[in-house]
Structure 1
């Protein structure tokens, strides 16, 4: 009886419902767990950890004082430490503790991180006056503040030095913003104008139109640019002098004194003296810097805004290119093409293209888009720039086009499926009321199939935003702090190289000279890439749902 009930239960299909439900649950749990791991590892990097100071006593050597942030700790076999050359006593236990400290002070110690044996650290303490200094170059510096100088003259020391230091760091930060605006915006605009003037001169020369009148006009325009540049250069020199005016005198935990220009300092703080709310404020300030600032220190410090901007802009351009081409191809195959062997072969080819490795598309983009198409555009429209390439080199346009070709099969298949679901009666009713086939297609069929088109676009965006391999060949680089969208004509520079979050993860994780500093940034950037893709997809899903609600009545 039980066996018969079991057979009946299996025939009802209930076990497969449980199996599929369990599979979906496991997948959701694994996804949430992965995102939680990335979030904890990445977001925890921005919390201001306490700086530990301790006496490090290696057997047989002189005691030295170490200071740094505890990054991680692990137990390792005693024999392994002994094999690495450390004077480990073999009579102890089987395991010893090994701790990774972020000691900073790279110019003094040669590295930002150092592995130490936990059992050899004595008298651990967290002094409240120990200062962590975040610099624009050479990483963090840990030590004690002795005084503040202005043009080499000591202006504050002792307890008064800390308040004076904070005021002067705020002043330097404001000057840094003015310098950045002057160099990138104002002087960048002049350099762009001078380059356009040079190309204009070369174009007139190639056309044989560089006569005396044209030369006089060009000279007058060049004089205007030169006059503006001289004025800005004077302001730049004055700002740089003010920027490098102040410095701070600090002492390391091992007694060495160092003078640091405040022009190289981003912020100085005392993590051991900070309360919970102070640390929260610091944490969100670092998070904002991460998403809004430019990278520094080989992409291991600062922010990743150029990579965010490049990823979103390239994906939007890709979507604007792939959507019309994909929809037109799907409409032709479903509505106009004769359904025969040739059409079936084309559909098979489209489906097979979706499985081609992404790097193949990158090679195709480099060979056809960059060298053939871009080189032809340069010869036809930009001969004055030769031999320097304009579009005959990897850039934003070719990266977007390559991704459009890569995701085109997804849009075609999704759109075809949407067109196939439109009831035949709607088409026939529209034709019976006197509409032409084109009007029926444009006003009835395509609007009702628009949710399926948006589904194809969502899948295309999800794949394109995370691609890395083809982009390495057609326009994405390690560092491109200048955005491809600015105030200089033609405003959107499609020939410019860009940064990308996916490539940034690869570069920081596998090409960074400072592996320990880069590791948490890999997690943080990966989490941000997931959020960017989710935001793009949610925007497309919102539009799809609005369209679906709009045309739901027609479907029924």
Structure 2
């Protein structure tokens, strides 16, 4: 036994056990996120429950079963519900929707109250732009006030969705461009006024431009009103679970599905269709419904911008510390500062970014370049640029340390041989040292991307918001608007999970968004790893 311990085998087994437990934990966590997140997109069966309460009052509940729990029968003793001597009873969490008729989307139903349970084939799930889903039986379909058959419903919905897309495109592209030009003219006139250059002729030019734009705006507004009239002309009458007849305008309808009629193949197609909608659509209903495309776009843009900033800064700092700085007290102090920066809480970086980048740098830029916009700030408010810079400072120590490690592994003979052949120190660094250290540089960038993509706390102070009305990129000059606020998947998870007014509806979205965030981080990391491996193969001959 003593020899076995001296051989080091126990420590090998302990290390293997630790690695195995870590892998199992990671796989288990990913499986939990994936199973909970992807199950949200699978079309659920719609159940109809016939209930009788202890007072003999009958009622009907229609909806999806979200959760099933087993509770002690003693919890129901004060309600008067007859549990027939059972020690435990089941209760079901039902998503009922129909917000205009009931106060909550979800309700609990205990099994002893259920006298009949069925899955009617004709019950419809109506996905709406506002007020969530509606569950019921379609009684009538009207087009221009005339009754038509239910079989024509899909055609009407496709027509309405096409019109809605035209309305959104008209509002964001054409009308948005006119509003942008009007604001640009207003700021140009204000700037000329501040500079004392606002002559009568210039003022008349501005007025003529505004008049021309207003004329275009009136034409677009008329076209917009025509589209709205077309989109609001059709409606359906639906019988709700309480027997009420509710008129729903197709303007509010996104899709109508009869889930209980779908085959497995049809459910699979709908499953992938809903995943696509989740990725490409904008959020609705306080982020508890719809998609997360603005959050995906904001996350990727911010991470890429941060990478472009932190990579040259980190490499230059590491090259200076390792190749040029002397081995003195000042260099040691710099290295200690870099190591300590890696341990600073991220929220502190957020406070620094808000105070230095936003208020000091951004406020100064507004005073110098955008005085006509004041007191409304341009760069003096949180935005995607300041978020990228803040995270660049946060991840800078990781890139510096990783690059220095790569530089230290390059043998001195490589430097001496290059210098002996007549190359300058700068040429040696650019052609020999940095290419050989590029895999280590990419390792630092990979770690920086992984940390930056998941950070939320500093972004809450320097740019991220619950809902961004426009993307940082559009068709208006200069096309990339780094001063705008943006949405982020990490903050979206926090907002939906902890700030949502509808917790039960938001819970599956938390898992789905978390799975999407993990997928994006893995994709960015795999791309960086692929680049690193190619660089390693490219410069392998130089190492030997």
TM alignment of 1:484-523, pairs within 5 A: 484-523=472-511
CA distance in 2, matches of 1:409, 1:314: 19
Determine if the alignment matches structure 1 residue 27 to structure 2 residue 22: yes
Q: Is the 8 A contact 1:79 1:90 kept in 2?
A: no
Q: CA deviation at 1:227?
A: 2.0
What is the match of residue 123 of structure 2? 130
- 2: CA distance, partners of 1:527 / 1:43: 9
Rounded to whole Å, the distance in 2 between the matches of 1:494 and 1:328 is: 25
Could you tell me how far apart the structure 2 residues matched to 1:362 and 1:412 are?
21
User: What does residue 273 of structure 1 align with?
Assistant: 261
What do residues 31-79 of structure 1 show as CA deviations (whole Å, max 9, x unaligned)? 0111011111111011111110121111114111111111111111122
Q: Distance in 1 between matches of 2:56 and 2:339?
A: 69
Counterparts of 1:312 and 1:404 in 2: how far apart (Å)? 14
**Greater mean alpha carbon deviation, residues 57-66 or residues 169-178:** 57-66
> In structure 1, what is the equivalent of residue 280 of structure 2?
292
Distance 1:539 1:231 in 2: 47
Structure 2 partner of 1:147: 140
Which residue of structure 1 lines up, in the alignment, with residue 453 of structure 2? Answer: 465
After superposition, the C-alpha distances for 1:406-461 in whole angstroms (9 at most, x for unaligned) are: 00000000011111111100100010011111111111111111111110000000
Report if the CA contact (8 A) 1:78-1:88 is conserved: no
Q: Residue deviations 1:267-297, cap 9 Å, x none?
A: 0111111111111111111100000000001
Partner SS for 1:46: coil
Which residue is equivalent to 1:97? Answer: 90
Query: Is it true that 1:530 corresponds to 2:518 in the alignment?
Result: yes
Q: Is the 8 A contact 1:306 1:481 kept in 2?
A: no
Q: Which residue of 1 aligns with 2:363?
A: 375
Per the TM alignment, residue 82 of structure 1 is displaced from its structure 2 partner at its CA by: 3.3
Per the alignment, residue 319 of structure 1 pairs with 307
CA distance in 2, matches of 1:82, 1:189: 64
Aligned equivalents of 1:481 and 1:501: distance in 2?
Answer: 16
State the 1:119 CA deviation: 2.1
Q: Does 1:48 align with 2:36?
A: no
| CA separation of 1:466 and 1:89: change in aligned 2, threshold 3 A | same
Per mean C-alpha deviation after superposition, the further-off stretch among 8-17 and 400-409 is 8-17
2:366 and 2:379 in contact (8 A); partners too: yes
The answer as to 2:538 corresponding to 1:550 is yes
The counterpart of 1:384, out of the listed 361, 372, 375, is: 372
Shift of 1:91: 6.2
Per-residue deviation at 1:13? 1.7
Query: How big is the shift at 1:345?
Result: 1.3
Q: Which residue of 1 aligns with 2:175?
A: 187
Q: Which runs of 4+ in 1 moved over 4 A?
A: none
| TM-fit CA distance, 1:80 | 1.9
> 2:32 is matched with which residue?
37
Deviations 1:168-207 (A, max 9, x none): 1110010011011000111111111111111111011111
2:414 pairs with 426, 430, 441, which one? 426
Structure 1 residue matching 2:100: 3-state secondary structure: helix
Match of 2:240 among 249, 252, 271: 252
| Distance in 1, Cα, partners of 2:359 & 2:469 | 25
Shift in Å at residue 92 of structure 1?
2.0
TM-score by length of 1: 0.96
Q: Does 1:18 align with 2:10?
A: no
Name the TM-score, length of structure 2 as normaliser. 0.99
Work out whether residues 315 and 400 of structure 1, in 8 Å CA contact, stay in contact via their aligned partners in 2.
yes
How much has 1:400 moved relative to structure 2?
Answer: 0.5
1:64 counterpart = 2:52: no
Which whole-Å CA distance do the structure 1 matches of 2:245 and 2:439 have between them? 67
Which residue of 2 is the match for residue 483 of structure 1? 471
Number of residue equivalences:
544
